[in-house]
Chain A
Amino acid sequence: MGDQIKKIDYPFFISALIITIVVFSSGYMIGWYLSEKNNNEIIDEINNINSLLSVLQILHAEEFCKFYPYIISKIEANSWKLGEKLQYIENQGRTEDRLKNLYFEFQYRDMTIVKKAISECKFETKIVIYFYTNKPNLCQTCTAQGFELSRARNILKEQNQSIRIYSFDGELEGMGKLLANIYNVTSYPTIIYNNRKYGFLSKDELLNILK
């Protein structure tokens, strides 16, 4: 037996390639559609809790302090979960800027109302502002910081302490960058509590600062 020249059946591979491209494209588009559906559901959720904030904003002082605990408790649980979902989607590289800006606007309104409740109604609430970015060259510990904040929050909640954590992407054009400039954020992560700025904080360090 001698050397043989064997052939490659190019038509099969080309046909398979075409079919694969078609299936891939279909899968990609269906996946995109379902992803968009997820995003739209999040937008609806933001709009729903925004409307509750609007109610608080139009109340007079007395009524504001009276109804604040009830309405804010409704907002708080939903907004935290919403934030976690957004962070997860962001972590998977799928967020849209419009979604984030919408959420940041809501957060800022929420923060304004909570500060009003603290000053006018004397409610006790710890306010933590957290600036992060998804750009890996600017922050390699931001994902970890998110986990630490989450854990610290859960512990404080179990102790029946009132805490609000507001997270902003300081590199996002729009609300994020604006607030980062206002608070003079120069690095990430940056945590602001009681007018003091901190870098990365572990769960225990956070609990120490917040006690």
Chain B
Amino acid sequence: MLNYKIVKIFFLFIIFFSLLAVYLGIGKYVKDLLGWISFFILNTIVITFIIMLYLNKEYIFRKSRESEKFKVSVVVPVYNEGENIIQTIESLLNVNYPKDKLELIFVDDGSTDNTGEIVKRYPVKYFRKQNGGAASAKNYGIAKSTGEIIITMDSDSVIDKNAIRRIVSYFEDESVGAVAGTIRARAPKNLIQKWQSVEYDLILIYRRILEAYDSVYVTPGGLSAFRKSALEEVGYFDEKSLTEDQEIAMALQKKGYKVLCSLDAYVYTTVPESLPKLIKQRVRWIRGGIYNRIKHQDLLDLKWGNLFIFGYLLDILFFIPFVTVFIGTILLLMEQYFWIERLGLDVVGLMIDQFFVTSLIFWLISLPWQLYMLNYFKDLLNETRYSILDFLGFMFIFGFGWFFVWFVVMIKEIKGERNLWETR
């Protein structure tokens, strides 16, 4: 039976194991072995995605239908947004959906600025509560709602006018419990935001591929829709979760509901513009993901099919490359610099070995198909939001940044820092 202490113990074990291997002089061999294993696993998954995409292209890129059938309540938790909330409100007031079937609810989670005053100027429902995190604000709003479909949205996002009519169309299938929206980065300005923009667009297609295999395990807080009766069945959002948007998707899947995603119910969200903010966000995502898997450890069972593999097993297997990189970092700090000192640039040519070449081949395989996926948005929306250089930067730099974030997660878990959901 897993519990939360296991995370700290596990990370301590990784550190102990890595340092022991290096001390015994076998660090390099352990790193190489784990490196080969993790590379093999990761690339099997990549090839799996490529096959899945190829076989389900039409389904994956299908357009949403539109519907005005349901009474919809949009719940937006807000906290110290200030003037930024205006764009969110105005985009919601501008949506193309019958006004008599649309309820807009803003839940102020204890803002200390003038957010409340600004919201009250608009013809929306406004509630204020004590600060308790986004999940508690959403639950508060749902409790006040009258719609049969609940849409949750971030308060720093701008929704497309057709997003609601598209996202609710999926609920005409009674078995659908939730639908993830199409979250895109809003007006990326600097390199970090552009890389996130690439990432968000890729994730949309990945999620659609997962949907084709009934294994969507996140309904992002940026924009997601839920059947209210399904939410009641699973007990609404977990207010203790750091990533309640993932937790609720897992809970709904376990109850037998379908979790789908749309590719054209757009919302444009503000992404972190600086490295510290980005790291803070990603640390929360990873820690939230770990805790959700502990909570839903019964998903660690073959009976959950593809959901078990993509929604659970993959993340566990990610520990293998993490340990590889951890040991490799220790060895690098100890030795690699000195080889550059001794050999100069000759060391570059000597680095070419079987692992290097195989890694390169897999990078080369993964590049074109990811570009193919990104082209979907370029063709559909006739826009160019990032260049090839941005894409390559995302592939070669941003991706490796994940390992650094994992280091931070490891330190926080070992220190036993308990992050409650920080709304800001």
Residues of A within 8 A of B (CB): 1-9, 12-13, 15-17, 19-20, 23-24, 26-28, 30-32, 34-35, 38, 81, 84-85, 88-89, 91-94, 136-137, 140, 143, 147, 150
Contacts of A32 in B (CB 8 A): 354
Q: Assess whether A24 is in contact with B358, with CB atoms less than 8 Å apart.
A: yes
Residue B303 at the chain A interface, CB threshold 8 Å = yes
Partner of A1, one of B44, B175, B214: B175
Taking the closest CB of chain B, its distance from the CB of A3, in whole angstroms, is: 6
Q: Is the CB of B335 within 8 A of A13?
A: no
Given A6-B305, A13-B48, A17-B44: A23 and B214 interface contact (C-beta under 8 Å): no
Residues of A within 8 A of B365 (CB): 23
Task: Say yes or no: is B162 at the interface (Cβ < 8 Å to chain A).
Answer: no
Within 8 A of A (CB), among B203-241: 213-215, 230, 233
- Report how far A35 CA is from B350 CA in the complex, Å: 8
| Contact assessment for A150 and B342 in the assembled complex, using a CB-CB cutoff below 8 Å | yes
**Does B29 belong to the interface (CB within 8 Å)?**
yes
**Measured CA separation A88–B339 after assembly (Å):** 7
Q: 28 A-B contacts, Cβ less than 8 Å apart?
A: A1-B233, A6-B307, A8-B306, A8-B309, A12-B52, A15-B51, A16-B44, A16-B45, A16-B50, A16-B51, A20-B40, A23-B47, A23-B362, A27-B361, A28-B354, A30-B357, A32-B354, A35-B353, A85-B343, A88-B339, A88-B342, A88-B347, A91-B335, A91-B339, A93-B32, A136-B25, A140-B24, A140-B25
Q: Is B356 an interface residue (CB 8 A)?
A: yes
Contacts of B48 in A (CB 8 A): 12-13, 16
Min CB distance B385 to A, Å, is 31
Cβ-closest chain B residue relative to A34: B352
Q: What residue in chain B is nearest A28 (Cβ atoms)?
A: B354
Contact indicator A26/B40 (Cβ below 8 Å): no
**B28 located at the interface, meaning its Cβ lies under 8 Å from any Cβ of chain A in the complex:** yes
Q: Which of B23, B29, B307, B343 is in CB contact (< 8 Å) with A84? A: B343
Out of A3, A23, A137, A143, which one reaches B361, CB within 8 Å? Answer: A23
Let me know if A88 and B354 touch, CB within 8 A.
no
B338 contacts A3, C-beta separation under 8 Å: no
Q: Mark B residues whose CB is within 8 Å of A.
A: 23-26, 28-29, 32, 40, 43-45, 47-48, 50-52, 175, 177, 213-215, 230, 233, 255-257, 302-309, 335, 338-339, 342-343, 346-347, 349-350, 352-362, 365
In the assembly, what is the distance between CA of A9 and CA of B24, in Å? 42
Q: Which residues of the other chain, A, contact B52 by a CB distance below 8 angstroms?
A: 12
A142 to chain B, nearest CB (A): 9
Q: How far is the CA of A85 from the CA of B352 in the complex (A)?
A: 13
Give the docked Cα–Cα distance between A88 and B302 (Å): 45
Task: Specify the chain A residue showing the minimal Cβ separation from B230.
Answer: A1
CB B70 to nearest CB in A, in angstroms, measures: 18
| Bound: A2/B233 CA distance, A | 11
Instruction: Select one of B256, B339, B361 contacting A2, CB under 8 A.
Output: B256
A27 touches which of B28, B51, B346, B358 (Cβ 8 Å): B358
Closest chain A residue to B257 by CB distance? A1
Name the residue on A nearest B29 (C-beta): A93
Q: Is the CB of B302 within 8 A of A23?
A: no
Contact of B304 among A6, A20, A27 (CB under 8 A): A6
Top-6 shortest CB links A-B = A136-B25, A27-B358, A6-B305, A31-B354, A31-B357, A1-B256
Known: A19-B47, A20-B47, A136-B24. A1 touches B177 (CB 8 A): yes
- Provide the residues of chain A in CB contact with B303, threshold 8 Å: 5-6
Q: Is the pair B352, A20 in contact by a Cβ cutoff of 8 Å?
A: no
- B-chain residues with CB within 8 Å of residue A84 when the two chains form the complex: 342-343
Q: Is the CB of B28 within 8 A of A35?
A: no
B24, B25, B26, B43: the one within 8 Å of A23 (CB): B43
The closest CB in chain A to the CB of B41 belongs to A20
CB atoms of B350 and A89 under 8 A apart: yes
With both chains docked as a complex, state the minimum distance between the C-beta of B4 and any C-beta of chain A, in angstroms: 26
A1 to B342, CA, bound (A): 66
